[in-house]
Amino acid sequence: MNKQFQIFGMSPMLFLGFFLVVMLAHFTGRIPANILGSLALCFALGIFFGEIGDRLPIWKEWIGGGAILAFFGASTLEYYGFFSEKELGMMKEFMNGTDFLDLYIATLITGSVLSLERKVLLKSFFGYIPAILGGLLGASILGVLAGSFFGIGPIEVVIQYVLPIMGGGNGGGAVPLSEIYEATTGTPRDIYYSKAIAILTMGNIFAIIGSALLKKIGNIFPKLTGYGVLMKGQSSLDAQEEKVSFTVQDIAISIFLVATIYTFAETLTKFIGTFGTVKIHKLAYMVITVILLNASGVIPAPVRTALQKVQSFFTKQLLWVLMIGVGIVFTDLPSLIATVNLTNVVLCIFIVTGAAIGAGGTGMLVKFHFVETAITAGLCMANRGGSGDIECLTAADRMSLMPYAQISSRIGGGMVLIISSIIFGMFL
């Protein structure tokens, strides 16, 4: 007997009842302006778009399925004025004020790093920086090659295209890049920033598509992928989960652990927020802290296993909620549309492709899987930072790689700023 058709584990009538209640509140302006109202709106729209996206034949296999449709659907609704000012305000408060995005990423970082065997963890991170540099080199080479077809010089390609795309997103990339540009040239930062944010937004879209394509490549050529595992021979705590028992209190302790590590990282940024001109992000400190905790072995096995369950809850049950919020709050469709011309599209495609090939190829030299390295050290350098990491890993169905993605966005982004300071000083 066929299993009864369900929507997000619910009967169609039950979901329809929930959905109509939320939409009625939306159209009458009665959505509660708090976290509960935000969750109701995100769940309703997330499940609606997510279920459709997971069932569209081409979309689910090549573009990223329900999560990416939720992202684009929400950003499109925002662009065409579906949400009231009140709803936009409460969604910004939900994503920024309560930092739901940080909660999500922090849980993934802590859970993913603590799930890895200590020896393998240290070996994998040791080889990861060369993979990032390989991605930067690949992006520059293919970018310059593409620019030559349009009569754009190598230095202009690197400054105007490669650095914004590979710079770690908006707050950690485009903004400080524009500040370095102004300090170096005396030209107002807005001139550089306006193009940089548009180019990195386009690059982010191609990074998402590229992540979905790499997932498909891995399915076709299994020798190129570890199916979510970065290093060849690497294992994780997943296989041990059923052998390690844990209690409800262990779950509470694991949440306390995430919150404590996040608080510690935030505190560190107050005392050691910068090295020279490079700003160190709190999530970068989180990655380093969790690596040290894993290496020390001080976290009990039941808490580690409980944290895996919490992480699984976030990645599987709250992903569509997150993508609706990201689509509404962090997406600027007009900027993306304004940059859509043949030159910019071709350059962005070549740069993102170069990042993936360069990172993946370098990764193979240090015994990493090509697909996973191309996604994390390549495409997660070419996206727009934290939210871009989620979008890319979602499209690739490899959310367990979040710690490596964050190294790309945070530490890799810092490396790009250092390189940018040198290049701007030499050529501008």
- Nearest 5°: the CA angle 284, 119, 372 is 60
261: tokens are 């590590």
3 state DSSP class of 50: helix
pTM score above 0.85: no
pLDDT tens track for 184-205 = 888 888 788 878 878 988 898 8
- Nearest 5°: the CA angle 167, 172, 173 is 30
Cα 48 to Cα 46: distance, rounded to the nearest angstrom:
5
207: tokens are 């990074």
Cα 210 to Cα 153: distance, rounded to the nearest angstrom:
26
* Statement: residue 116 has pLDDT above 80: no
Sign of CA dihedral 72, 73, 79, 85: negative
Mean pLDDT score of the chain: 88
Cα 384 to Cα 14: distance, rounded to the nearest angstrom:
37
Cα 176 to Cα 278: distance, rounded to the nearest angstrom:
9
> Per-residue pLDDT averaged across 53-77, rounded?
84
Ordered by start, the domain boundaries in the chain are 12-98, 102-318+326-427
Give the largest CA-CA distance in the chain. Answer: 72
pLDDT tens track for 210-226 = 999 999 999 999 999 99
Most confident option among 57-66, 271-280, 302-311? 302-311
- The answer to whether 136 and 381 have CB atoms below 8 angstroms apart is yes
- Position 190 scores a pLDDT of 77
